[in-house]
């Protein structure tokens, strides 16, 4: 994993939470949604098919854990999660990554997609700290 370099777009739009066995987990900087991005720490990945079978299984396990963490973020911040959305889009940032996003009825983009809906609303310092702590606690289990 020494050749892994995080795309600068992730640095600009998210905050590091923790390294899991395969992925770097990052909190998307949009306070309206509990939202993690999981980025496998291997060089040159663009598609899930670029991972070997064991790493694909690990990505699925980390995605499930990410869902637990997203629900924990939502609970800590008072943003109940009605539905988890999981996606590996990569149209803007080609580096392989998986979004794990908590949605709730009545959120700003409900029921449509969040991508392209409206500009992100950055976390305030206290909420950012609480969200990262909630995610770390859930992911460390």
The tens digit of pLDDT for each residue in 50-65 reads 999 999 999 999 999 9
pLDDT reported for residue 138:
98
pTM of the complete model: 0.96
pLDDT reported for residue 90:
87
pLDDT reported for residue 92:
87
Cβ–Cβ under 8 Å, residues 54 and 122: no
pLDDT reported for residue 2:
56
Cβ–Cβ under 8 Å, residues 35 and 99: yes
| Distance (Å, whole) CA 100 – CA 65 | 10
| Distance (Å, whole) CA 6 – CA 10 | 7
**Domain 8-139 part of CATH 3.30.428.10:** yes
Assign 102 to helix, strand or coil: strand
Cβ–Cβ under 8 Å, residues 120 and 13: yes
**Would the pLDDT of 141 be above 80?**
no
């Amino acid at each position: 994993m020494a050749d892994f370099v995080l795309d600068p777009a992730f640095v600009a739009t998210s905050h590091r939470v923790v390294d899991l066995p395969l992925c770097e987990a990052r909190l998307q900087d949009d306070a309206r949604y509990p939202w993690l991005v999981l980025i496998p720490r291997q060089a040159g990945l663009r598609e899930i098919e670029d991972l070997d079978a064991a790493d694909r299984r690990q990505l699925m396990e980390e995605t499930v854990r990410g869902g637990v963490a997203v629900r924990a973020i939502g609970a800590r911040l008072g943003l109940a999660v009605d539905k988890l959305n999981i996606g590996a889009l990569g149209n803007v940032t080609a580096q392989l990554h998986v979004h794990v996003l908590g949605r709730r009825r009545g959120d700003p983009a409900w029921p449509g997609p969040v991508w392209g809906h409206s500009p992100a609303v950055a976390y305030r310092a206290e909420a950012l700290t609480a969200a990262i702590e909630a995610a770390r606690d859930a992911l460390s289990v």
